[in-house]
């Protein structure tokens, strides 16, 4: 009994059980790339992390380390210390790229490692998504489609946290609904997104997972402006080639065009669109002054401010 306990203890130390959390097996297509997230404990924030290649822990070889990049470019690694996740990316996958370990380096002690396997196929993977990295917007919803070829229970999980196994649930305050109405597609919708919903997730079917990184951010101002869908074909082309057009500001709407005639053409459409809208009070539809951009350029050229002004306009 004592000998059994000693062997079990040594095995746990070598593998770093409960120290690192990652996928167990991922199906990937030969020639493609894959990113694998590795979640670690807070006590390892300042430690070196690395990817080790090989089925056997004691004989695996370094592929890439956070303090030593891979000169070939096949492997890369990044460490998000805030989220306590380091991510390894493997490019140009071959049939030999199958066995790996996520590892935290321990000074004056055995390193902590967690094994994962890549199942490299010549055709379509048994479980995959169109994009491993996706973007959602605060307050809105996002849908993820997990394509699968096997039959069995599929679930949606956040790395190191809970899973949704039924048709509905929640993860970190975001409502999650799932369905399988489309053949061989597991559809996940996350609603009421918040910034804290950013992170690594995965679809899982049996022992196969596919990691997905969700970045939740504020919606860009231009995408908040429905006028962009209504008014097209106008604007002023800068010398850099970029076009400055109608932009939505917090306190007003500014219309840009190459001539006063074009401005006058924009006003009726804008007026109709804004009827009934209540953005920061009542709008007064009048053009106080139409600026001559070409003359402004001549002055800016003399003052040496043209380039920086263009940059400010584009940033706005």
Which pLDDT tens digit goes with each residue over 178-219?
A: 998 888 899 999 999 999 999 999 999 988 999 999 999 988
Q: Both 206 and 265 in a single domain?
A: no
Identify the pLDDT of residue 196.
95
Q: Is position 167 within any domain? A: yes
Identify the pLDDT of residue 43.
93
Distances 168 to 138, 187, 188, 199, 205 between C-alpha atoms, Å: 20, 11, 9, 20, 17
| Distance in angstroms (rounded) separating the CA atoms of residues 237 and 259 | 12
Q: Both 24 and 112 in a single domain?
A: yes
| Distance in angstroms (rounded) separating the CA atoms of residues 134 and 120 | 23
pLDDT of 296 strictly over 80: no
Q: Tokens 């490019």: give the residue.
A: 91
The whole domain housing 60 covers 15-121
Q: Both 226 and 213 in a single domain?
A: no
Q: Which residue has the higher pLDDT, 289 or 264?
A: 264
pLDDT of 246 strictly over 70: no
Identify the pLDDT of residue 241.
59
Q: Is position 82 within any domain? A: yes
Q: Both 117 and 65 in a single domain?
A: yes
Q: Is position 7 within any domain? A: no
Q: Both 213 and 230 in a single domain?
A: no
pLDDT of 83 strictly over 80: yes
Average pLDDT over residues 63-71: 94
Q: Is position 97 within any domain? A: yes
Confidence of residue 235 (pLDDT cuts 50, 70, 90): low
> What region, left, alpha or beta, does residue 206 occupy, with left being phi > 0 and alpha being psi -120 to 50 degrees?
left
Q: Both 137 and 82 in a single domain?
A: no
Q: Is position 2 within any domain? A: no
| Distance in angstroms (rounded) separating the CA atoms of residues 228 and 212 | 31
Average pLDDT over residues 50-66: 94
Output the domain CATH number for residue 162. Answer: 2.60.40.10
Strands 25-29 and 112-121 come out as parallel
Confidence of residue 17 (pLDDT cuts 50, 70, 90): very low
Q: Both 179 and 229 in a single domain?
A: no
Q: Are 37 and 119 in contact (CB under 8 A)?
A: no
Confidence of residue 3 (pLDDT cuts 50, 70, 90): very low
Q: Which of 60, 87, 121 is the last residue of a domain?
A: 121
> What is residue 44's three-state secondary structure?
helix
Identify the pLDDT of residue 238.
60
Identify the pLDDT of residue 307.
53
Average pLDDT of the chain is 79
Q: Which residue has the higher pLDDT, 64 or 268?
A: 64
Q: Both 80 and 140 in a single domain?
A: no
pLDDT of 12 strictly over 60: no
> What is residue 141's three-state secondary structure?
coil
Confidence of residue 14 (pLDDT cuts 50, 70, 90): very low
pLDDT of 234 strictly over 70: no
Average pLDDT over residues 77-91: 96
Identify the pLDDT of residue 286.
45
Report the first-to-last Cα separation within the chain, whole angstroms: 71
Average pLDDT over residues 147-161: 88
Q: Both 21 and 112 in a single domain?
A: yes
Confidence of residue 268 (pLDDT cuts 50, 70, 90): confident
Confidence of residue 281 (pLDDT cuts 50, 70, 90): very low
Q: Which residue has the higher pLDDT, 107 or 222?
A: 107
Identify the pLDDT of residue 232.
53
Count of structural domains, the chain: 3
Identify the pLDDT of residue 144.
95
Q: Which of 165, 191, 217 is the last residue of a domain?
A: 217
CB-side neighbour CA atoms (13 Å) of 3: 0
This prediction has a pTM of: 0.67
Q: Is position 283 within any domain? A: yes
Distances 36 to 47, 69, 79, 82, 225 between C-alpha atoms, Å: 19, 17, 12, 17, 36
Token pair in block for residue 162:
């809970």
Q: Both 177 and 194 in a single domain?
A: yes
**What percent of the chain is predicted at pLDDT more than 90?**
56
Say which range, 42-46, 154-158, 243-247, has the weakest mean pLDDT. Answer: 243-247
Q: Both 188 and 233 in a single domain?
A: no
Q: Both 175 and 205 in a single domain?
A: yes
Q: Which of 217, 251, 281 is the last residue of a domain?
A: 217
Q: Is position 162 within any domain? A: yes
Q: Is position 4 within any domain? A: no
Confidence of residue 62 (pLDDT cuts 50, 70, 90): very high
């Amino acid at each position: 009994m004592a000998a059994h306990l000693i062997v079990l203890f040594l095995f746990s130390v070598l593998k770093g059980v409960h120290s690192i959390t990652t996928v167990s097996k991922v199906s990937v297509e030969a020639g493609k790339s894959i990113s694998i997230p590795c979640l670690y404990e807070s006590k390892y924030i300042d430690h070196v992390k690395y990817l080790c290649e090989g089925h056997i822990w004691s004989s695996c070889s370094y592929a890439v380390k956070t303090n030593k990049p891979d000169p070939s470019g096949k492997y890369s690694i990044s460490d998000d210390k805030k989220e306590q996740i380091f991510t390894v990316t493997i490019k140009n996958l071959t049939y030999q790229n199958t066995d790996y370990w996520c590892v935290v380096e321990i000074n004056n002690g055995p390193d902590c490692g967690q094994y994962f396997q890549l199942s490299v196929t010549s055709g379509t993977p048994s479980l995959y998504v169109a994009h491993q990295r996706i973007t959602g917007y605060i307050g809105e919803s996002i849908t993820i489609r997990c394509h699968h070829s096997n039959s069995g229970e599929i679930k949606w999980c956040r790395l190191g946290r809970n899973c949704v196994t039924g048709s509905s649930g929640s993860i970190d305050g975001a409502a999650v609904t799932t369905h399988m109405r489309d053949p061989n597609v597991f559809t996940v919708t996350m609603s009421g997104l918040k910034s804290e919903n950013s992170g690594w997730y995965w679809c899982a079917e049996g022992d196969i997972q596919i990691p997905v990184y969700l970045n939740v951010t504020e919606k860009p101002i231009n995408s908040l402006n429905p006028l962009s869908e209504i008014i097209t074909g106008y604007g002023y082309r800068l010398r850099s080639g970029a076009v400055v057009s109608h932009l939505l500001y917090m306190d007003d709407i500014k219309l840009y065009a190459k001539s006063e005639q074009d401005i006058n053409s924009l006003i009726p459409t804008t007026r109709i669109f804004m009827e009934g809208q209540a953005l920061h009070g009542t709008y007064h539809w009048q053009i106080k002054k139409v600026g001559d951009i070409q003359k402004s350029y001549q002055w800016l050229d003399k003052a040496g401010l043209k380039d920086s002004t263009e940059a400010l306009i584009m940033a706005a």
